[in-house]
Structure 1
């Protein structure tokens, strides 16, 4: 039994994803003028949904009292991919600085929303501990 259910764990995973995405975007921006550099991106939701849809993820329960199947994979739910199918600059570099800046701003808003939600969870706990005061 978890004190918070799965909410804190889920928020932690999304914060890890957002932090890695921020690092990847910053790396892309830093390499805007590097010859033959290929932009990288972090994927999370696509891989997560793909895993849920895969046949290997399913299990059949033959009796209602059987324990349900759950995946306990230690594999990271996100990965870094290289965008190698485009060239924006004459030197083989495919970093689009405008796109990267937009992605960075969106990711910062996303990260702040996650932190606010996490603060709300801990604020609720603090209120309960104080007896509603």
Structure 2
């Protein structure tokens, strides 16, 4: 039995890793704010996860139901790895740098909130497992 190795927990782990990577990428963008010809980067993960889960369209794989009373399932989702994507198409400064400090700071705050939410979810899941194993005292 995979208590903490299930698909949902692995997706949470991947999301936390993506948030951590995004923190480093945004910090790098901010650090290179005044570097000529620097192009900002971002992390593509949420879009890839949405596509992997088939939320925007029809999922390619589905669990097999052997009884009409079964709940439809799909545990065969792949968990994508986050990728760093560089935006080379824009330039907002005279030095051809495309880092906007206001946008980067808002992305940093948004990412911090996302990271905190994910860590709280993992903590809650582990707490519920512990209560299930030990019982409420």
Give me the TM-score of the superposition, normalised by structure 2.
Answer: 0.76
Secondary structure of the residue aligned to 2:103 is helix
Which residue pairs with 2:3 in the alignment?
3
Cα distance change, pair 119–81 in 1 and its aligned pair in 2 (3 A): same
Secondary structure of the residue aligned to 2:85 is strand
Give me the TM-score of the superposition, normalised by structure 1.
Answer: 0.78
Does 1:43 pair with 2:44?
yes
Which residue pairs with 2:71 in the alignment?
none
Aligned CA RMSD, in angstroms, stands at 2.8
Unmatched runs of 5 consecutive residues or more in structure 1: none
Secondary structure of the residue aligned to 1:77 is coil
Q: Is the 8 A contact 2:7 2:77 kept in 1?
A: no
CA distance in 2, matches of 1:28, 1:102: 13
- 1:48 to partner: Cα distance: 3.4
Q: Is the 8 A contact 2:40 2:87 kept in 1?
A: yes
Cα distance change, pair 102–49 in 1 and its aligned pair in 2 (3 A): same
Unmatched runs of 5 consecutive residues or more in structure 2: 67-73
Deviations 1:106-125 (A, max 9, x none): 00000000011111111112
Number of aligned residue pairs: give it.
Answer: 125
Q: Is the 8 A contact 2:52 2:77 kept in 1?
A: no
